[in-house]
Homo-oligomer: A and B are copies of this chain.
Amino acid sequence: MGDIRFAIELKVRDYELDAQGVVNNAVYLHYLEHCRHEFLLSRGIDFNRYAREGIDLVVVRCELDYKAPLRGGDAFRVTLALERLSPLRFVFLQEIRRQGDDRLVLAARTIGTALNAKGRPFLPPEMERLLS
């Protein structure tokens, strides 16, 4: 599959902050997911079309290391590398870094698979091609 890398640039939105004045922990999962889905779309793989066809891309495990908080007004970059783990599993290695000083905000490792309409793990052909 060669070396697959991808990145998006986003900016914190104020509603994503919590009472500590920093981005709430759960919101980083949104950032990570959005980066993965944009990457997949760039390869012709549409999470929502899959969902309508009964194919569910699913996360089976996620590890998150929170290194520094994002605050209101921060711009940041979400990066992604994709590797195959096993016949039916793949892993996204992702980082979030603040723009400006490039400070590491979060490092994440997300293991995924896909389920067919019967809920059985399988890889749709587009994912198989992407990972070959």
Once A14-B33, A33-B26 are accepted as A-B contacts, the answer to whether A65 and B61 lie under 8 Å apart by CB is yes
Q: Which residues of B contact A29 (CB under 8 A)?
A: 25-26, 29
- B18 touching A30, Cβ below 8 Å: no
**Can you name the residue of chain B whose Cβ is closest to the Cβ of A63?**
B63
Q: Which residues of B contact A13 (CB under 8 A)?
A: 30, 33-34, 37
Name A's interface SS.
mixed
- Interface residue range, chain A: 35 or more
Give A116 Cβ to nearest chain B Cβ, in Å. 13
Residues of A within 8 A of B (CB): 13-15, 17-22, 24-27, 29-30, 33-34, 37, 41, 46-48, 51-52, 56, 58-66, 69, 71-73
